[in-house]
């Protein structure tokens, strides 16, 4: 299990097991936040706790940050999908470095093409440390 928290510790999340990859996105929000996302479903493999303030982007996505220290902890869909589940992604940069260092990084072009880019073999440790 991977755990993460904002700088002051008021907002926490856990990811059961290891994510297949971390996603680095270059959209207008993610590039400003400097996040690395790990995806699943709320109350599936991801659990989040603590009071947050959401920044709602578009019609179905809210970025949640700590109102005390300002760290972006996760994003969550506003409405469940057709299967009744709500997608959520946690910011792996809030985890301890050793816990996420070996996770492969996927790049997503959220700015221009809205497509996954080819893997280049780098992992979180190659980009972070």
Q: Look up residue 61 and give its two tokens.
A: 């996505």
Report pLDDT for 42: 87
**Which residues lie below 8 Å from residue 42, measured CB to CB, with a gap of 6+?**
48, 76, 85, 86, 87, 88
Distance CA 59, CA 96 (A): 32
- 56 vs 128, higher pLDDT: 56
Q: How far is CA 73 from the centre of its chain?
A: 7
Summarize pLDDT for 3-59 with one digit per residue, the tens.
999 999 999 999 999 999 999 998 899 999 999 999 999 889 999 999 999 999 888
Q: At CA 52, angle to CA 88 and CA 114, rounded to 5? A: 35
Domains assigned to the chain: 2-128 (2.170.150.70)
Distance CA 54, CA 60 (A): 12
Report pLDDT for 118: 85
Q: At CA 105, angle to CA 99 and CA 110, rounded to 5? A: 130
Report pLDDT for 18: 94
Q: What is the pTM of this model?
A: 0.91
Query: Strand 105-109 to strand 22-25: parallel, antiparallel, or no bridges (unpaired)?
Result: parallel
- 108 vs 32, higher pLDDT: 32
Summarize pLDDT for 48-90 with one digit per residue, the tens.
999 999 999 888 899 999 999 999 999 999 999 899 999 999 9
Distance CA 67, CA 59 (A): 22
pLDDT band at 129 (very low <50, low <70, confident <90, very high): low
């Amino acid at each position: 299990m991977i755990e993460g928290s904002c700088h002051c510790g008021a907002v926490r999340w856990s990811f059961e097991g290891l994510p297949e990859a971390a996603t680095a996105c270059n959209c207008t929000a993610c590039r400003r936040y400097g996040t690395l996302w790990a995806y699943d479903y709320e109350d599936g493999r991801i659990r989040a706790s603590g009071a947050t303030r959401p920044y709602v982007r578009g019609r179905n996505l809210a970025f949640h940050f700590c109102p005390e220290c300002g760290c972006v902890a996760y994003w969550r869909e506003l409405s469940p999908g057709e299967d009744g589940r709500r997608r959520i992604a946690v910011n792996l940069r809030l985890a301890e470095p050793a816990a996420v260092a070996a996770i492969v990084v996927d790049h997503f072009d959220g700015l221009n093409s809205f497509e996954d880019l080819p893997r280049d073999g780098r992992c979180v440790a190659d980009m972070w440390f």
